[in-house]
Structure 1
Amino acid sequence: MTTITGGTLNELFASAVRLTIDGDKVSPRGMDTRELLDVRLLLEEPRSRLLHAPPGRVLNTAFAVAETVWILSGSDAPWIYEFNGQLRQYAEDDGILRGAYGPRMRCWDGSVDQLALALSTLRGDPDSRRAVIQLYDPARDAGGHRDVPCTLGYRFHLRRGRLHMATTMRSQDLWTGLPYDIFAATTLHELMAGWLGVELGEYHHHVDSLHVYERDLDKAVAVLDEAVSSPGKLPSLETPWEGFDALLADVRSGRMVDHPGWDIMAAVLASYQQWKRGHRDAAVRSAEGVGGLLGEALCAWYAILRSR
């Protein structure tokens, strides 16, 4: 196993790129790829979850926030395409992404809220090894639909007053997917620690195949210097379990919820909705008003969009 450690996602990403670009050359589905097998990525500060390495790697910050809300709320609704239209290519003819994580986490087999179950498991037995959220479903995913989850599942372990989280991936596109996957997973990690009233521990991201496609290789090499700097922690998102789903619904609509961290998330979504409606100057002014790292990153994303 290859272990890569970083205090922030920027540090973790840079180290992972350095190793993966020298990985084995493979071509699954005919796509040339550099690959490392059996990799463990360890993020020491899960709230340093935003990859921001301009000008080489700038995330669609609004999509990072939107996907996180989409997953946590248990949704597979097509509103997510407003924030990332490229996802449509993986949807079925009815427009639904069959591999969406949200319904699997919040309503497995139509009835099991695995998030609530994991929380109650740890509340009942803090030393439990059974706080598991399963996402990959052979009954659905072996059938060959377009969207097969890369994430197999999440696990939580509460030890010595700190909650640690582990994610297992069968496959991880380092350049495109990893920054968004870790943003969403570490948000879940922080929330679970808050619901349990314990300290936030380490985040472990286990990947069977960590890879960079050859088409992204030059961009990945070029971003290394920018990715080393550390942007720091995002504002706390801890919030009570009671009323959590209602809070997510408000944030998704861009409404303020009287919570500093979640109000920033809502402001990011509201700004991007302005952009999509064609009110671009207003969207930029809104992003500037968001402030902090998320606001800065959203402004950088708008600059990328305007340059295209």
Structure 2
Amino acid sequence: MTTISGDSITELFARAVRLTIDGEKVIPRGMDTRELLDVRLLLHEPRARLLAAPSGRVLNTAFAVAETVWILSGSDAPWIYEFNGQLRQYAEDDGILRGAYGPRLRCWDGHVDQLALALATLRGDPDSRRAVIQLYDPARDAGGHRDVPCTLGYRFHLRQGRLHMATTMRSQDLWTGLPYDVFAATTLHELMASWLGVELGVYHHHVDSLHLYEHDLDKAASVLNTTVPTSGKLPSLETPWEGFDALLADVRYGRRVNHPGWDTMTAVLASYQQWKRGQREAAVAKAEDIEGALGEGLRAWYAVLRGR
């Protein structure tokens, strides 16, 4: 096993690129790829979840926020395409992503809220090893639909007053997918710790196949030739479990909830919706008012869009 450790996603990303770029050449589904097998990434500060890499890899910060809200709310609704239209290529003819994590997380088999169940498990037995959330479903995913989940599932362990979380990936596109997957998973990690009233522990990201596609290698190499900045912790998202779904709905629809962390997320979504409606100057002006790493990330993404 290859273990990569760091205090921020930016550190992990840079170290993972350095190793994976020299990985073994494989060609799954006819696509040239560099691959490392059996990789474990350890993030010691899960709130340092927003990638702040050089210009070679600027994150669509609005999509990172939107996807997180979309997943946690249990949704597979097509509003997510407003934030990332490329996802449409994986949808079925009805426009639905069959592999969307949200319904599996919050309504497995049409009735099991796995998030609520994991929380109840740890509240009832803090030492439990059964706080598991399953995302991969062979009954659906072996059938060959376009959007097969890369994430197999999540596990939580509460030890010595700290909540640790582990994610297992069957496959992970380092360049495109890792920054977004870690952003969403560590948000869940932080929330679960807050609902249990415990400290946030280490986030473990286990990947069976960590890979870079050949068409991303030149961009990935640019990360190795520059000084990679570290990214600080994002504002706390601690909020009660009771009323959580209503809070997510408010954030989705641009309503303030009088919570600094979540209102920042709301502002990011609202700004990007203005951008998509063609109100570019208004979107940029709103982004200028967003403080901290999320504001910086969104402004950097607008700079990328303007340069295209």
**TM-score (ref. length: structure 2):** 0.99
Q: 1:297 matched to which residue of 2?
A: 297
Deviation string, structure 1 residues 148-201 (Cα, Å, up to 9, x no partner): 000000000000000000000000000000000000000000000000000000
Q: 1:32 matched to which residue of 2?
A: 32
Pairwise CA RMSD: 0.7
Deviation string, structure 1 residues 61-111 (Cα, Å, up to 9, x no partner): 000000000000000000000000000000000000000000000000000
- Whether the 8 Å contact between 1:155 and 1:165 is mirrored in structure 2 is yes
Q: 2:138 matched to which residue of 1?
A: 138
Matched, 1:49 2:76: no
Distance of 2:269 and 2:134 partners within structure 1? 28
**TM-score (ref. length: structure 1):** 0.99
Note the C-alpha offset of 1:53.
1.5
- Whether the 8 Å contact between 2:5 and 2:12 is mirrored in structure 1 is yes
Q: How many residues align?
A: 308
Runs of 4+ in 1 over 2 A off after TM superposition: 224-228
Distance of 1:227 and 1:130 partners within structure 2? 42
Q: Counterpart of 1:110 in structure 2: which amino acid?
A: G
Note the C-alpha offset of 1:226.
4.7
Note the C-alpha offset of 1:297.
0.6
Q: Counterpart of 1:121 in structure 2: which amino acid?
A: T
Distance of 2:213 and 2:43 partners within structure 1? 23
Q: 1:217 matched to which residue of 2?
A: 217
Note the C-alpha offset of 1:54.
3.1
Matched, 1:164 2:182: no
Q: 2:6 matched to which residue of 1?
A: 6
Note the C-alpha offset of 1:228.
2.6
Distance of 1:226 and 1:89 partners within structure 2? 33
| Residues 251, 31 of structure 1: alpha-carbon distance in 2 compared, 3 angstrom cutoff | same
Note the C-alpha offset of 1:42.
0.4
- Whether the 8 Å contact between 2:44 and 2:203 is mirrored in structure 1 is yes
Q: Counterpart of 1:305 in structure 2: which amino acid?
A: L
Q: 1:190 matched to which residue of 2?
A: 190
| Residues 165, 85 of structure 1: alpha-carbon distance in 2 compared, 3 angstrom cutoff | same
Note the C-alpha offset of 1:291.
1.4
Q: 2:237 matched to which residue of 1?
A: 237
Q: Counterpart of 1:281 in structure 2: which amino acid?
A: E
For residue 58 of structure 1, give the secondary structure of its aligned residue in structure 2. Answer: coil
Gaps of 5+ in 1: none
The sequence identity of aligned pairs, in percent, is 85
- Whether the 8 Å contact between 1:73 and 1:106 is mirrored in structure 2 is yes
Q: Counterpart of 1:147 in structure 2: which amino acid?
A: D
- Whether the 8 Å contact between 2:9 and 2:48 is mirrored in structure 1 is yes
For residue 10 of structure 2, give the secondary structure of its aligned residue in structure 1. Answer: helix
Gaps of 5+ in 2: none
- Whether the 8 Å contact between 2:54 and 2:228 is mirrored in structure 1 is no
- Whether the 8 Å contact between 2:66 and 2:83 is mirrored in structure 1 is yes
